[in-house]
Amino acid sequence: MSTTEVRTDVRTDIRTERIGSTLLITIDRPQARNAVNAAVATGLAAALDELEADPALRVGVLTGADGTFSAGMDLKAALRGESPEVPGRGFGGLTEAGPTKPLIAAVEGWAMGGGFELALGCDLIVAAGDARFGLPEVKRGLIAAGGGVIRLPKRIPYHLAMEFLLTGEPVSGRRAGDLGLVNRVTDTGDATAVALQLAEQVAMNAPLALAAVKGIVRAADGVPEADAFAVQREEMGDLTASADVREGMNAFAERRAPQWTGE
């Protein structure tokens, strides 16, 4: 891997590291099991802005410090009047943000409530086999309003999603893999390393094409096929006019690795 650049903002409890073309984003509040308060939410939003703004960054990996992904909303902070949401971006500054670049969750330990919803807000999930995923909001008189109620029934069969949402009971990372919620199941402690490897695979591809895939999948959700194809035609028009498409064809013909410019 290339030289790693580490930037830490103690105020926001978010740490970012540039590893090649990947931005590793770590929620760094281990004393609170990486629960999300207002500072974490604004810090995570800022990290996503960094990912989006820099053309040298192709993929983001989101994880938590010291063997815990995130315990979800910081209830003590919420009782003090803090909001774990960022206006227009949702819980943790992520769940409604819709970043154009691929985002991978690397889950160790607990991903509970809003922590699980942060993972659901990512495009891919890598988890340790003994990680724990759950949406316990109903146990506290709430619902999983950070995307859990909306997204989970689209990811797994209805009855399985409803078991999460109605019982509030967690499942292991291995069980989440069996359900199709997780792309890779790893040994304990290996989730971030495997997520970074997966990020490298993704980053080898054309950045405009990656963004187009995300845009089309998002636009096609719940709409008639004719509307989805209309969006796809528009995206394809932009792609076929790009320099990267020509570079991809030339690289194939010349039997070399493409040099993407994102143009």
- Positions annotated as catalytic residues are 117, 137
- The C-alpha atoms of residue 156 and residue 107 are separated, in whole angstroms, by 18
- The C-alpha atoms of residue 77 and residue 229 are separated, in whole angstroms, by 45
Contacts of 263 by beta carbon, 8 Å cutoff, 6+ apart: 208, 242, 243, 244
Q: Are 70 and 115 in contact (CB under 8 A)?
A: yes
CA-CA-CA-CA torsion for 257, 54, 93, 206, nearest 10 degrees? -20
| H helix or E strand, kind and range, residue 174 | helix 173-179
CA 217 from centroid of its chain's CA atoms: 15
DSSP string, 183-215: SEEE-TT-HHHHHHHHHHHHHTS-HHHHHHHHH
Q: Are 228 and 216 in contact (CB under 8 A)?
A: yes
Closest residue by Cα to residue 23 from 69, 58, 70, 55: 58
